[in-house]
Amino acid sequence: MSVIWSIARGTFKESMQKKIMWVFFGIALLIIGLSFIFSYFSPSEELTLIKSIGLGIIYLFGVLIALIITAGLIPTEIERRTIHTVLSKPIERWQFVLGKFLGVALVLFMNMMLMAIALLIVVMSKGSARAEGFFKALVTNSRILEATLLLFFYLLILCAFAILFSIFSTTNISITLSAFVFIIGSLSDYVADIIKLSHNPLTSLVLKVLHLIVPNFGNASIYNSVIHGYIPAGEARYVLMAIAYSLAYCLVLMLLSTWIFAGKEV
């Protein structure tokens, strides 16, 4: 375990030194911070806009950070030949892959949570705290953190895909393939609706299978309820199931990655 943790820490430090990540992070914070431009809307509209755009920015920049940081991890090690040094030590290949994954997960978690806290501060400072009282407003708006946490778990699936693709391809191809998976996975939520509209049993069956197998990034989206301030019945159960889904998906992808990486000549 200490080996995996060492690799994860190394990956975390290395990723934090990448300028591109800080550029993305900075832009995201800037956009969230600039939400005061909505002050000409009525208070409820203003909060709706801030929350929706804020969560959208967290999601979008989370995707960018996940793709760009993760896809380059293993190909860079191979190109620089530093992988030989690492694997010459008593480190199993699966430990290397898992360590890389955990490292990038830490980077993503830190980035997304900092963005979510920035959004929470903006929302609280926009009168929400004054209207409801500080603690009540904090509890109500802490669902921003809950929504971000769920997004984080689903972006882990994207990271796992990026690692899987990067094992047998270049950084650019890995980014492209992962982005493709992300787009397809984002459509899965709508496929569920299309199944209901379809009258052809064969089409329905094919769509149903696709819907159940393709990673459904739509599961991560609870932000409509966060933006408009309603809590659907059985929320805790839903969130737990959605997290379990993402972890199961990550496990499948990690198994495949370690399997392929074990047989790869480096």
Radius of gyration of the chain (CA): 20
d(CA 86, CA 208): 43
Q: Contact letters (x/-) for another protein, 34-53, by CB under 8 A?
A: ----x-xxx-xx--xx--xx
In the complex with another protein, which residue's Cβ is closer, 255 or 266?
255
Contacts of 235 (CB under 8 A, 6+ apart): 222, 225
d(CA 107, CA 250): 17
Question: Cα-flanking dihedrals φ and ψ of residue 223, to 5°?
Answer: -75, -15
Stretch that binds another protein, among 96-104, 111-119, 162-170, 213-221 (CB under 8 A): 213-221
In the complex with another protein, which residue's Cβ is closer, 121 or 255?
255
In the complex with another protein, which residue's Cβ is closer, 110 or 187?
187
In the complex with another protein, which residue's Cβ is closer, 44 or 82?
44
Q: Are 110 and 169 in contact (CB under 8 A)?
A: no
Angle subtended at Cα 228 by Cα 152 and Cα 105, rounded to the nearest 5 degrees: 5
Is 30 among the residues that bind another protein (CB under 8 A)?
A: no
Tell me which residues in 132-191 interact with another protein (CB under 8 A): 183, 186-187, 189-190
Q: CB of residue 224 vs another protein: minimum separation in angstroms?
A: 5
Question: Cα-flanking dihedrals φ and ψ of residue 230, to 5°?
Answer: -120, 150
Q: CB of residue 260 vs another protein: minimum separation in angstroms?
A: 11
d(CA 189, CA 192): 5
Reading the block at residue 215, the tokens are: 């990673």
Tell me which residues touch another protein (CB under 8 A).
Answer: 38, 40-42, 44-45, 48-49, 52-53, 55-56, 59-60, 183, 186-187, 189-190, 192-194, 197, 211-213, 216-225, 227-228, 230, 232-234, 237-238, 241-242, 244-245, 248-249, 251-252, 255-256, 259
